[in-house]
Amino acid sequence: DADVTQTPRNRITKTGKRIMLECSQTKGHDRMYWYRQDPGLGLRLIYYSFDVKDINKGEISDGYSVSRQAQAKFSLSLESAIPNQTALYFCATSDSPGQGLNQPQHFGDGTRLSIL
């Protein structure tokens, strides 16, 4: 089983609809992240969370919200989807820095979201 699981893997929906993307992890990591990938732009950070009580905006948070329901779960919502939110969305997790050393992030397999 995958350590970082994203559902759904694919979603097609209409403009104005509310959508929730879910992420769960079995790695026991404290930190979770949501990114989107657009062609030619690499991955960009939407939101991140260091624990259940902690939510932080990333580079492109407008139009999105998140919920950290438990250490293992981090969901991303689009309250009213618009076509330019069509993208590939990735969830990632990481351990907290150990002795000041950064830790790599580990990614799920992504959700391909199309908004018509």
Partner 1 sequence: DQQVKQNSPSLSVQEGRISILNCDYTNSMFDYFLWYKKYPAEGPTFLISISSIKDKNEDGRFTVFLNKSAKHLSLHIVPSQPGDSAVYFCAASARGGAQKLVFGQGTRLTINP
Cβ at position 15, least distance to partner 1 in Å? 26
Cβ at position 91, least distance to partner 1 in Å? 8
Tell me whether strands 73-78 and 65-70 are parallel, antiparallel or unpaired. antiparallel
Q: Which residues contact 43 (CB under 8 A, 6 or more apart)?
A: 35, 36, 37, 90
Stretch that binds partner 1, among 11-19, 65-73, 79-87, 97-105 (CB under 8 A): 97-105
In sequence order, the β-bridge partners of residue 88 are 37, 112
Q: Tell whether residue 43 is a contact of partner 1 (CB under 8 A).
A: yes
Strands, E assignment, 1-116:
4-7, 10-13, 19-25, 31-38, 42-49, 56-57, 65-70, 73-78, 87-94, 106-107, 111-115
Q: Tell whether residue 58 is a contact of partner 1 (CB under 8 A).
A: yes
Cβ at position 42, least distance to partner 1 in Å? 4
Stretch that binds partner 1, among 12-20, 34-42, 60-68, 73-81 (CB under 8 A): 34-42
Q: Which residues bind partner 1 (CB under 8 A)?
A: 4, 31, 33, 35, 40-45, 48, 56, 58, 90, 92, 94, 97, 101-110
